[in-house]
Structure 1
């Protein structure tokens, strides 16, 4: 271990001196170095892990509604086929929108997410974070209340209108969810890393809950509208809970300590400071671009390596899951058992991936290696490329060009999915947590938004390339 004298401390980040000989692989960010309280301030304890639990719950609430929106696939099929009063042998009126419904949802979600991430970055210093968080939660709750009310409404006479309403709601929900998640994640940059980890793990828990809900729905085989109603009501409750928990957060002494006002930090020795960032420079006029828009270039410079890791991590993950992995069939599908037909994909792909992803993210609460500047981290990220051929040569069906199935056992997709989820959860959480910690505290929130943009970019690139890969198999 190195002494604390080898480091320069800003309000939030840890810098190594030019003369420090600390190896890169020993630069793991330790809480006692990263979150060293200023002189004269005693850091309070997180009694009963209250702040940790709140951030974990906010992570669940931020992604659970979107997961439930996507999980209710049978409900959307029911609604868009006019199944409330179908004529015998009559073709569904909305066959085109039904066939491409998921693609429309993906486009609406992606476009809204990217635009709202850009808007949130511009609003970091213009609109207080509590307004952005509460407004996004209110919008998400309003959207889900509308969708909940429409569950029991007969929409067979206005299928295209219902489709348009659904797409618009998905776009608004995705945008509001993006603003909420990126804002709260940026806020955790001022807290110890365990709180960032709690928020990210909560998001994985949201995916796991939705996967379990899908399995329960398949096992119960209940009416699709009842299932959708249960999904949407659960999301409504979680969103309402998030509002209450977020308003409770500033009342905790531990949280108030880290939410204290930010003062400008000292720049790293040897780096040139911009005039408008200097404590001795005249303050910019209210509303000016210098004071209202966070500086993007230093954030990109500091987080370039971590940004590459995040983009490539989610690129590989979204390239495989769900486009490739969900089309892997059991090699014993012909037996007709429920395991090899009805439950194989929900169990071995959806539930297993989300659970492994959750375990990987939760593991960062105890183990935080490699460090942010270690070359091992991007090396491990690049190593995940090997998972791609593993999934391709499982029993993916249908196959047109690549006829060879190298892994003829159901154990292989279980093993590969576990590796995909664990590596995605652990490595992505490390990279996301490190980002706001290697910049001054006053840039932590803006850096959190940038890290979210890296993640979104990786997902978009992977989803786009997955369509091409599917046609090559």
Structure 2
């Protein structure tokens, strides 16, 4: 199989689509029966393929974001309240640490499912993996939507356990979906990978906006949550519909057919053809281990403090009774600003790709994000049981820190993700996309474990 040029960084992605024809030709065996259209590179008419992958990016992280952003709903459901008009400020062990448990429950299955996804890369078609995972996500969200109007005040522990089981299933299916879709983008030009990753950030922004709008428009918590989860149901259905449309478009059909040719047959040194069951891991890690560790650490730091710490930061003027300091402070400063900044950081990689894939500056910048953990811990996080000092006693501090956390997560997390599939041979691109997703999920899993320790130590 053909290998992408490993020249200087500035030429790594130059004229990517223009060189596709020669790459495609070298991928095909002699006397290939592949139809003629695979030998030229069509245009993405009306940017439809870009938009579809952007929507699938939204759908890939939308389930996770919808679960973590519905903070008011979970506090209500886990505080032994039978009626929506009662206050929801009652503390309980379940509500205090729900977000930390949610992070652990969602990330551990993610790692296992991404390992499974790597094993299934050449055994099960991407279509089967993607559609089955989306259907599972849709079923769980429909059940979650129905439970909104079910009184669970007498069985909060059972509801808590059931919610975590649902989160575990959705997380596993979401990561199978994400890993499969990101693996596919490895065969497309880099703009498509960037579209998927930007869509993931938009998924968080959409969920945060939906939460704020529902809080403002609905009369009570359950009406707000019902409209909120129905929005998620619609987006998941949209993902299914757009994915089914993808093979009908000439642009995507061209790259998918090229991928099928390169992955199904590998020419060995003797010239014979051999079926590949599991992609070789060693050549992938040899090229991408620094990029993979960068992805791991970026998302480990992010999930350590978001949302477990950042969503617990309250306005220093909460006693004023203003809607801004009581109802809207957390949804806006923690969820919306973080996700909006994350989206901006990811979108910036479409125009700026500095530092490059072999630069030592990239891992150095990733390590510098560690300082954000203590900065957010010493904002006005409540309740505080051990660290009683609040060093940053102004609402501007958590706003600035959350924006910096999101912006750096988006930019420094996206660069290595899109570099990974481009620095290996083309026949390993899909498997490399899955490996990079594995590093991401592993970072989330480790970070979620640290988030529990951080919350218990404040």
Q: Same fold (TM over 0.5)?
A: yes
Residues 268-311 of structure 1: CA deviation (Å, up to 9, x unaligned): xxxxxxxx862535444x6xxxx211111111111111011111
Distance 1:447 1:244, change over 3 A: same
- Number of residue-to-residue matches in the alignment: 438
User: How far is 1:354 from its partner?
Assistant: 0.5
Corresponding residue SS for 1:135: helix
TM-score, L = length of structure 1 = 0.83
Q: Distance in 2 between matches of 1:59 and 1:455?
A: 15
1:465 is matched with 450
Flag structure 2 segments of 5+ consecutive residues without an equivalent. Answer: 26-37
The equivalent position to 1:343 in structure 2, one of 328, 341, 350, is 328
2:33 is matched with none
1:269 is matched with none
Q: Distance in 2 between matches of 1:133 and 1:143?
A: 16
Q: Distance in 1 between matches of 2:149 and 2:386?
A: 45
TM-score, L = length of structure 2 = 0.86
What is the Cα-based RMSD across aligned positions, in Å? Answer: 3.0
The equivalent position to 2:282 in structure 1, one of 287, 292, 297, is 297
Corresponding residue SS for 1:174: helix
User: How far is 1:339 from its partner?
Assistant: 2.3
Q: Distance in 1 between matches of 2:279 and 2:369?
A: 34
Instruction: Give runs of aligned pairs for residues 315-464 of structure 1, distance below 5 A.
Output: 315-399=300-384, 402-464=387-449
1:270 is matched with none
Pairing 1:251–2:248 present: yes
User: How far is 1:228 from its partner?
Assistant: 2.2
Larger radius of gyration: 1
Corresponding residue SS for 1:420: helix
The equivalent position to 1:177 in structure 2, one of 158, 174, 180, is 174
Pairing 1:199–2:196 present: yes
Q: Distance in 1 between matches of 2:207 and 2:70?
A: 9
2:144 is matched with 147
The equivalent position to 1:278 in structure 2, one of 268, 279, 292, is 268
Q: Distance in 1 between matches of 2:453 and 2:11?
A: 39
Corresponding residue SS for 1:351: helix
Residues 131-163 of structure 1: CA deviation (Å, up to 9, x unaligned): 111111111112222223333344556655544
Corresponding residue SS for 2:206: helix
Pairing 1:239–2:236 present: yes
Distance 1:69 1:324, change over 3 A: closer
2:291 is matched with 306
1:131 is matched with 128
1:5 is matched with none
Q: Distance in 2 between matches of 1:336 and 1:156?
A: 27
The equivalent position to 1:42 in structure 2, one of 40, 43, 46, is 40
